Every structure is written in C-alpha cells, then in structure tokens.
Amino acid sequence: MRSDVEYSPVGEGLGMRDFWLYAWMRRAAVIAAHVTGVSLTIIIAVLSRPGTSEWTSTRFSLFSWHPLCMALASRKWKVRLHWFCQTLALIVAATGLGFIVASKNLSESRHLATWHSRLGICTLAASALQAACGVCVIYPKLLCLSTPPPRLKLYHGTCGLVVYLLATLTIMAAMLSDWYQAMVKGPVWWAIFLLPVFPALVVMNQITNGYLPRKKISS
C-alpha cells in the first residue's frame, strides 16, 4: 500500500521527549527574536531623540525623525493585521525617506552616497514588490490571475525574506554612519551591531520552512 505523505525533517529520528525539547527551543527562539526586534526599535528611538536639533542645525532636527520612522517600519504581525501593519509600515518608511531627503536637501549633501542609503532604496523597492505580491495572494480571482495560490504565497514569502534580509543589512549599514558611531561606542556598539542578525536567522528559518515546497516520500 502506497500513500503520499508530506516530508518534514522535524521529529525525524527523535523520541517524544526530544521532540518537545525541540519544539520548546523553537518557541523560545521565536520569542527571543520578537524581543530582540522590539528592543532594537526602542534603542533606535531613544538614540534618535526625534525633534531634537542638538547639533545646532535645522537639518538634524529633520534627520532625527528618520531613524525612528525606519525603525518602526520594521515591525510585522499576522493575517489581516499583518497586511494592515505592512501597509502602515510602507507609509512610515516613505515618511522616513521624506525626512532624510529633506535633511540632505537642506544641507546640500549628496543623495545615495553611502551603502546605507543604497540598501535602503533597494529595501523600499523590494517592500513595494512584496506588497504587490500580497495583493495578488488576497485577490487572485479579482485580478484574474492564472498562477496557483500556493505559488503566489511562495513568491510573497520569498519577497518577504528578501525584504527582511535587506532591511537587516540596511540597519547594520546605518550603524556604520558617523551619526550612530557618535552616539554609541565600544563593546555596546558591537552588541547592538550584531543584534539584528538573530531575528533575521529566525525569520529566514520560518519562511523557508513555511513556504518552500517540501519533498514527498512514499510508504
């Protein structure tokens, strides 16, 4: 007798006790990733001190809102609340982009002169593409799409992974800026610099396990 069953490496060769240990470790990793993401957002918000102009220039008053908006734009949730928050994140990210463009225009500085700014533009472009894929996932019949829904979800999840990894690289590149290095120094700088890596690994694992097609075996 043959039947197709979905293959999953989870639990293969593990006893029940080991399986529960694995499940709790995964749950702890997810919780830690959320705590890390929220902590990073709070740290950036505190360091940016939105509205301040302590560098005695109006352009830094505008700039102070840029880190806060971009940090808030990295939060994610689930289902309908997920796409609502994603839309809100795009709006906040666009607002953050507007503040930095205005700041550079006032100071007559060059645009896209750093890796942080280039990666940031790529992240926003990928975010728009992910949002478009999300709309296709929600309204495939309305848009008269011939692509199967599972494949649309795969595209959406893949775009989400690319966006998250680009956002992580953008944040890490921001920590190499003169503004950030003037605010944070020493071992604390290294600790915060490596902070975004952990949630990125957890998100990568969740997306690859949740969206990538799995092999099937016969029994």
Residues 21-43 have pLDDT tens digits of 767 777 777 777 778 777 777 87
CA distance 167 to 143: 29
CA dihedral 82, 87, 88, 94 (to 10 degrees): 140
pLDDT(56) > 70 = no
The pLDDT tens digits for 79-117 are 566 777 788 888 888 898 888 888 888 888 888 888 999
Token pair belonging to 89: 């994140």
Domain boundaries, the chain: 4-218
Q: Is the dihedral of CA 119, 120, 123, 125 positive or negative?
A: negative
pLDDT value of residue 51: 60
- Decide: pTM greater than 0.75: no
Distance CA 194, CA 94 (A): 26
Return the residue matching tokens 């240990």.
Answer: 21
Q: Tell me, what's the pLDDT at 57?
A: 46
Query: Is the separation of the CB atoms in 213 and 148 below 8 Å?
Result: no
Q: Is the pLDDT of residue 217 over 60?
A: no
Is the domain covering 4-218 a CATH 3.30.420.40 domain?
no
